[in-house]
C-alpha cells in the first residue's frame, strides 16, 4: 500500500455469535454466526472522502464501528495512521513498529484514547444523539474533558467556539447556552459535527449523517463535510444507502452487499459505468428529480438475505437478474477492470 | 372530474396562551379521479396538517377556521362525526407517517386488517373477512399465509406493504400516503413506489403523496403542490414544476436535490430556516430567505396572491411573471 493511506483495512471479518438453545448446545451443534462483515479490504488516502454504500444488512455500519475501534474484528487488520488499531482494541500485545516511540510506551487504554482523539464518529439521528438536558456548550466540550485537552476555561471556550463556528453556528455564544430542543434538525446535526471536530480529528466516520434530515437541509450538512475536507484535509468515511448524495461529494465509492465489497472505484466512474449488476440495480432505483427522465427501474426481488446463511457461490446470485449457472458455484473476487475500478463479478 | 376539491382551507392551532397560530392558510387544490398529486415541502410547512384537516383528524388544539373540502360534491367539513367516520377508510384512506412502526406488536397482521374491515364495512362472517385479508395481502405482494404472523416477523418493507393493504381494505377512492418510504432502504423504497403505481392503475385510485422527497414526486406524481410556511407556493403539473418552476422557493428546493445522473454537481442549500408559526413574516413567507434578483420592499410588506400565470400553473410570488 502507498504510504499516503491514512486508513488501511485488510481482510476484515466481523462475526457475531448467535446464542444457541439448550438442545443445540447439548447435541453440540456448531455455533452459528451472523457474518456481518466477511472479508473486506480497502484503503483510504489522507484527505479523501470514501463512500461505503449498501442497503441495511450490507455491513457498512459494522465496518465503520471496527475502524473506530468500537468493536473487535473477528479477523483481519485495521491500520490507522500506521498503527494496528484492531490489535489495540483486542488487547493482544502491541504490534507497533520500532519508530513509534511515543505511542508504544503508552498503556492500552491511552492508545485507545489516542485513537478516539484522531478518529470520530458522526451519528445518524441528531434528534436522539444529543442529550436533551445538556446545554450545547457542555455537549461540545465533553470530549475535551474526557481527553483532558483543555487546561483552562478560556482554552475550553476557545476550542468550543472554534468548533461551533466552523460548523456554521456563529456567533458561538449565541448558541452555546441553548438546549438541543431549541435548535432545528440541521442545527442539531451541526452540533453533533462540532462535538466530533472539537478534538480536531483526522478521520470522521459519518454514518448516514443526513438521512433523517429534510432535503433542503441535507445540502447544508453535506456542503459542510465537503468544506472540512477542503480546508482541513479531514478524511471522511461516508456511510449511506443513498447513491445520489454519495455521488455529489465523495471521491471514491465502495458498494457493499452481504458483508463484502462488490464494486469499488472513483465515484463518477462507478455511477456512470457501473459494472456489477447490484450497483446497476441500486443506481436504477434512485429517484431522479425530473419526470422527463423517468427510467426503467431494475427492482430486485425481496431483501438482502440474512447474513447467517450466506448463499454459496456469488452471494448476490439469488437476486441477480444476470446470473448464470456458474454463479452458484464461483465466489467472485474483486478484480481490476480499469486502473482504479474493481468489481467482484464473473460477468463484469 | 375532481374527486376531491379543497378550497381556501385554513387551519389554526391554539397555543397554550390562547393565541391562534396560523398553521395552514388558504390552501386550495383539486384531485382528479385516477390522478396523483404530490404535496411537497419541508418539515413544518403544514402539509400533514392539510391532510389531517380534510380527514377531520386534527388534534384538539387544531381548528379549521375557513374553507371547504368537497368529496363527490359534498362538503366534508359540514359532516357530522358519524358521517365522517363513514368517509374515512371507505372513501378516503390514509397511510400515516410511521404507521409501519405503529402496528400492534401482539396481534397478527391478519387480525389487525380484519378489525379495520369490521369497523368500516358490513363484513359479518369471519371467514369472509379472512378471505378478503388474503386478497389484500396478495395485492400488495405478501403471501397470504403470512397474515397469521406478527409484525416483528416482517421486515420494514413488508410492514409498510401490510399498512398499505390495511388502508385499501375498504376499497377507498382516494389514498393519502404520508412519507410512505422514509426510513426504508433505496431498493425497498423503489418496491413500494412500484407497488403504489401498480395499485393506482389497477384500482383507479386517486393518490396524494405527502413527502419532502422531490425525487419520489418526480417519479410518481402527475401534479405537484409546493407548500411553504403553511401556504401554497406553487402548483402545477410535475413537468412544469421540475422543468419550468417560477417560485424562487421551488427553484431553490430543486437545486438542493442531488441528481445521481449528474454526480459532482454543486448542491445549493437554502440558508436560514422555515418561519416559525409564532413569528410569521408580514409579507411573503419566503421573503427572509429569498435571494431572487427581483426581491423588493413589497415582498416584505405584502403577501403575494396565488396567481394562475398559465393554464394550470399557479404561483404565489409577486414576480412570477418575470422570473424565468
DSSP string computed for A15-40:
EEEPPPPHHHHHTTPPPPEEEEEEEE
Q: Which residue of B has its CA nearest to A245?
A: B258
Evaluated on CA atoms A307, A265, B185, A297, the torsion sign reads negative
Chain A contacts to B (CB-CB under 8 A) = 55-56, 184-186, 214-220, 222-223, 241-245, 247-249, 267-268, 271-272, 281-283, 285-294, 297, 299-300, 303
Contacts of B243 (CB under 8 A, 6+ apart): A290, A292
> What residue spans of A233-276 are helical by DSSP H?
243-249, 267-272
CB-nearest to B269 from A185, A220, A303 is A220
Residues of A in contact with B259 (CB under 8 A): 244, 288-290
DSSP string computed for B28-40:
EEEEETT-EEEEE
Parallel, antiparallel or unpaired: strands A235-240 and A203-207: parallel
Strands (E) across chain B are located at 2-14, 20-32, 36-40, 62-71, 74-75, 92-95, 174-178, 206-211, 223-228, 231-237, 307-310, 313-315
Residue the block writes with cell 425525487: B215
Contacts of A124 (CB under 8 A, 6+ apart): A207, A208, A209, A211, A212
- Short-list B32, B92, B49, CA closest to B237: B32
CB-nearest to A289 from B155, B194, B214 is B214
Contact A292 B155 (CB under 8 A): no
Instruction: Report residue A88's pLDDT band, with 50, 70 and 90 as the boundaries.
Output: low
Contacts of B31 (CB under 8 A, 6+ apart): B2, B3, B4, B5, B37, B174, B206, B208
Three-state SS string across B58-77, please?
A: CCCCEEEEEEEEEECCEEHH
Residue the block writes with cell 475536507: A229
Q: What is the pLDDT of residue A39?
A: 94
**CA-based end-to-end distance of chain A:** 25
The neighbour count for residue B301, using CB atoms within 10 Å, is 12
Distance CA A30, CA A301 (A): 31
Among A244, A266, A289, the strongest candidate for a mutation testing the B interface, having the largest count of B CBs within 10 A, is: A289
The neighbour count for residue B50, using CB atoms within 10 Å, is 28
Q: What is the pLDDT of residue A96?
A: 42
Q: Which residue of A has its CA nearest to B238?
A: A291
Contact A243 B42 (CB under 8 A): no
Q: What is the DSSP letter of A97?
A: -
Residues of B in contact with A224 (CB under 8 A): none
Contact B256 A303 (CB under 8 A): no
Supply A115's cell numbers.
485513537
Report helix, strand or coil for A293: helix
Contact B260 A291 (CB under 8 A): no
Supply B214's cell numbers.
422531490
Q: What is the DSSP letter of B143?
A: -
Contact A248 B265 (CB under 8 A): yes
- Short-list A316, A242, A252, A299, CA closest to A42: A252
How many Cα atoms sit within 13 Å of B113 on the Cβ side?
32
Burial class of residue B238 in the structure, from the number of CB atoms within 10 Å of its CB (0-12 exposed, 13-18 middle, 19+ buried):
buried
Distance CA A63, CA A47 (A): 19
Per-residue pLDDT of chain B (324 residues; tens, 9 = 90+): 799 999 999 999 999 898 999 999 999 999 999 999 999 998 889 999 999 999 999 999 999 999 999 999 899 999 999 999 989 999 999 999 888 888 999 999 999 999 888 888 777 678 888 999 999 999 999 999 999 999 999 988 999 999 999 999 999 999 999 999 887 888 999 999 999 999 999 999 999 999 998 999 999 999 999 999 999 999 999 999 999 999 999 999 999 998 988 887 788 888 888 898 888 999 999 999 998 888 888 999 999 999 999 999 999 999 988 876
Q: What is the pLDDT of residue A324?
A: 94
Contacts of A222 (CB under 8 A, 6+ apart): A210, A245, A248, A249, B267
Distance CA A338, CA B43 (A): 44
Give the residues across from A78 on adjacent strands: A9
Supply B67's cell numbers.
374553507
- Residues in chain B, overall count: 324
Backbone angles phi, psi at B282, to 5 degrees: -70, -30
The H or E element spanning position A253 is strand A252-257
Distance CA A77, CA A70 (A): 14
Parallel, antiparallel or unpaired: strands A341-343 and B20-32: unpaired
Contact B264 A287 (CB under 8 A): no
Contact B218 A289 (CB under 8 A): yes
Contact B257 A289 (CB under 8 A): yes
Contact A268 B257 (CB under 8 A): no
Q: Is the pLDDT of residue A208 over 70?
A: yes
Distance CA A2, CA A297 (A): 39
Contact A285 B189 (CB under 8 A): yes
Q: What is the pLDDT of residue A92?
A: 45
Q: Is the pLDDT of residue A284 over 80?
A: yes
Q: Which of A20-24, A48-52, A222-226, B276-280 has the highest mean pLDDT?
A: A48-52
The H or E element spanning position B201 is helix B186-203
Supply B94's cell numbers.
390514509
Contact A243 B260 (CB under 8 A): yes
- Short-list B181, B310, B179, B163, CA closest to B234: B310
Instruction: Report residue A234's pLDDT band, with 50, 70 and 90 as the boundaries.
Output: very high
Cβ atoms of B118 and B177 within 8 Å: the answer is no
Report helix, strand or coil for B310: strand
Contact B186 A271 (CB under 8 A): no
The neighbour count for residue A9, using CB atoms within 10 Å, is 25
Instruction: Report residue A90's pLDDT band, with 50, 70 and 90 as the boundaries.
Output: low
Whole-structure pTM value: 0.89
DSSP string computed for A149-218:
---SHHHHHHHHHHHHHHTT--SHHHHTTS-GGGS-HHHHHHHHHHHHHTT--SEEEEESTTTTS-HHHH
Residues of A in contact with B209 (CB under 8 A): none
Q: Which residue of B has its CA nearest to A212?
A: B183
Parallel, antiparallel or unpaired: strands B174-178 and B62-71: unpaired
Please provide the average confidence, as pLDDT, over all residues in chain A. Answer: 88
- Short-list A130, A133, A13, A135, CA closest to A63: A13
% pLDDT > 70, chain A: 94
Q: What is the pLDDT of residue A106?
A: 66
pLDDT tens digits, A152-204: 999 999 999 999 999 989 899 999 999 999 998 889 999 999 999 999 999 99
CB-nearest to A285 from B186, B213, B267 is B186
A154 Cα to chain B: minimum distance (Å): 30
Q: Is B123 left (phi over 0), alpha (psi -120 to 50) or beta?
A: beta
Q: What is the DSSP letter of B141?
A: T
Supply A161's cell numbers.
467556539
The neighbour count for residue A296, using CB atoms within 10 Å, is 6
Q: Is the pLDDT of residue A3 over 70?
A: no
CB-nearest to A299 from B191, B258, B262 is B191
Residues of A in contact with B218 (CB under 8 A): 287-291, 294
Contact B239 A292 (CB under 8 A): yes
pLDDT tens digits, B203-233: 999 999 999 989 999 999 999 999 999 999 9
pLDDT tens digits, A109-136: 777 788 888 999 998 888 888 999 999 9
Supply B295's cell numbers.
426581491
Chain B contacts to A (CB-CB under 8 A) = 42-43, 155-157, 185-191, 193-194, 212-216, 218-219, 238-239, 242-243, 252-254, 256-265, 267-270, 273
Cβ atoms of B39 and B209 within 8 Å: the answer is yes
Q: How far is CA B191 from CA A131, A251, B141, B238, in A?
A: 36, 29, 10, 21
Complex confidence, ipTM = 0.87
The neighbour count for residue A250, using CB atoms within 10 Å, is 29
Residue the block writes with cell 384500482: B203
**CA-based end-to-end distance of chain B:** 32
Distance CA A161, CA A150 (A): 13
Amino acid at each position: 500500500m502507498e504510504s499516503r493511506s491514512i486508513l488501511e483495512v485488510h481482510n476484515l471479518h466481523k462475526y457475531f455469535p448467535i446464542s444457541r438453545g439448550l438442545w443445540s448446545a447439548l447435541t453440540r451443534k456448531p455455533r452459528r454466526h451472523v457474518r456481518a462483515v466477511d472479508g473486506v479490504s480497502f484503503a483510504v488516502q489522507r484527505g479523501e472522502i470514501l463512500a461505503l454504500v449498501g442497503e441495511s444488512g450490507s455491513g457498512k455500519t459494522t465496518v465503520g464501528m471496527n475502524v473506530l475501534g468500537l468493536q473487535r474484528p473477528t479477523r483481519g487488520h485495521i491500520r490507522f495512521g500506521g498503527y494496528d488499531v484492531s490489535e489495540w482494541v483486542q488487547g493482544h500485545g502491541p504490534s507497533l513498529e520500532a519508530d513509534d516511540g511515543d505511542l508504544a510506551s503508552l498503556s492500552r487504554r491511552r492508545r485507545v484514547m489516542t485513537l478516539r482523539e484522531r478518529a470520530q464518529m458522526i451519528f445518524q439521528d441528531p434528534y436522539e444523539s444529543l442529550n436533551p438536558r445538556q446545554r450545547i456548550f457542555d455537549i461540545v466540550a465533553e470530549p475535551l474533558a474526557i481527553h483532558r485537552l483543555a487546561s483552562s476555561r478560556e482554552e475550553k471556550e476557545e476550542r468550543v467556539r472554534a468548533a461551533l463556528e466552523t460548523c456554521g453556528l456563529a456567533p458561538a455564544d449565541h448558541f452555546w447556552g441553548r438546549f438541543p430542543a431549541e435548535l432545528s434538525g440541521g442545527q442539531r446535526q451541526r452540533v453533533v459535527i462540532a462535538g466530533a471536530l472539537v478534538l480536531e480529528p483526522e478521520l470522521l466516520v459519518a454514518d448516514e449523517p443526513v438521512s433523517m434530515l429534510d432535503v433542503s437541509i441535507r445540502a447544508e450538512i453535506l456542503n459542510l463535510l465537503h468544506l472540512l475536507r477542503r480546508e482541513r484535509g479531514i478524511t471522511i468515511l461516508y456511510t449511506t444507502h443513498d447513491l445520489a448524495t454519495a455521488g455529489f461529494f465523495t471521491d471514491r465509492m465502495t458498494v457493499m452487499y452481504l458483508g463484502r465489497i462488490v464494486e469499488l472505484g472513483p465515484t463518477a466512474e462507478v455511477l456512470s459505468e457501473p459494472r456489477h449488476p447490484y450497483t446497476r440495480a441500486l443506481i436504477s432505483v434512485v429517484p431522479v428529480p425530473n419526470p422527463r427522465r423517468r427510467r426503467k427501474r431494475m427492482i430486485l426481488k425481496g431483501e438482502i438475505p440474512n447474513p447467517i446463511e450466506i448463499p454459496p457461490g456469488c452471494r448476490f446470485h439469488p437476486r441477480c437478474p444476470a446470473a448464470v449457472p456458474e454463479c452458484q458455484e464461483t465466489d467472485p473476487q474483486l478484480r481490476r477492470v480499469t486502473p482504479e475500478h474493481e468489481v467482484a463479478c464473473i460477468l463484469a | 372530474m375532481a374527486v376531491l376539491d379543497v378550497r381556501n382551507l385554513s387551519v389554526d392551532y391554539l397555543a397554550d396562551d390562547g393565541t391562534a397560530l396560523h398553521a395552514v392558510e388558504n390552501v386550495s387544490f383539486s384531485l382528479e379521479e385516477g390522478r396523483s398529486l404530490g404535496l411537497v415541502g419541508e418539515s413544518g410547512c403544514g402539509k400533514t396538517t392539510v391532510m389531517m384537516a380534510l380527514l377531520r383528524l386534527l388534534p384538539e388544539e387544531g381548528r379549521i377556521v375557513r374553507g371547504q373540502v368537497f368529496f363527490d360534491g359534498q362538503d366534508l367539513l359540514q359532516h357530522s362525526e358519524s358521517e365522517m367516520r363513514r368517509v374515512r377508510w371507505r372513501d378516503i384512506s390514509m397511510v400515516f407517517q410511521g404507521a409501519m412502526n405503529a402496528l400492534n406488536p401482539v396481534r397478527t397482521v391478519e387480525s389487525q386488517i380484519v378489525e379495520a374491515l369490521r369497523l368500516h364495512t358490513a363484513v359479518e362472517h369471519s371467514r369472509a373477512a379472512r378471505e378478503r385479508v388474503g386478497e389484500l395481502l396478495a395485492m400488495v405482494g405478501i403471501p397470504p399465509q403470512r397474515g397469521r404472523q406478527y409484525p416483528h416477523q416482517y421486515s420494514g418493507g413488508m410492514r409498510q406493504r401490510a399498512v398499505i393493504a390495511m388502508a385499501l381494505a375498504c376499497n377507498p377512492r382516494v389514498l393519502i400516503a404520508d412519507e410512505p418510504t422514509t426510513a426504508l432502504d433505496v431498493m425497498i423504497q423503489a418496491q413500494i413506489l412500484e407497488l403504489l403505481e401498480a395499485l393506482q392503475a389497477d384500482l383507479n385510485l386517486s393518490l396524494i403523496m405527502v413527502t419532502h422527497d422531490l425525487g419520489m414526486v418526480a417519479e410518481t406524481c402527475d401534479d405537484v403542490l409546493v407548500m411553504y410556511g403553511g401556504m401554497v407556493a406553487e402548483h402545477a403539473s410535475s413537468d412544469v414544476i421540475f422543468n419550468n418552476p417560477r417560485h424562487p422557493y421551488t427553484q431553490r428546493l430543486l437545486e438542493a436535490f442531488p441528481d445521481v445522473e449528474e454526480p459532482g454537481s454543486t448542491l445549493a442549500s437554502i440558508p436560514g430556516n422555515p418561519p416559525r408559526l409564532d413569528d410569521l413574516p408580514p409579507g411573503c413567507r419566503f421573503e427572509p430567505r429569498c435571494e431572487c434578483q427581483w426581491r423588493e420592499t413589497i415582498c416584505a410588506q405584502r403577501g403575494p396572491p396565488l396567481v394562475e400565470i398559465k393554464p394550470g400553473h399557479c404561483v404565489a410570488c409577486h414576480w412570477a411573471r418575470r422570473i424565468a
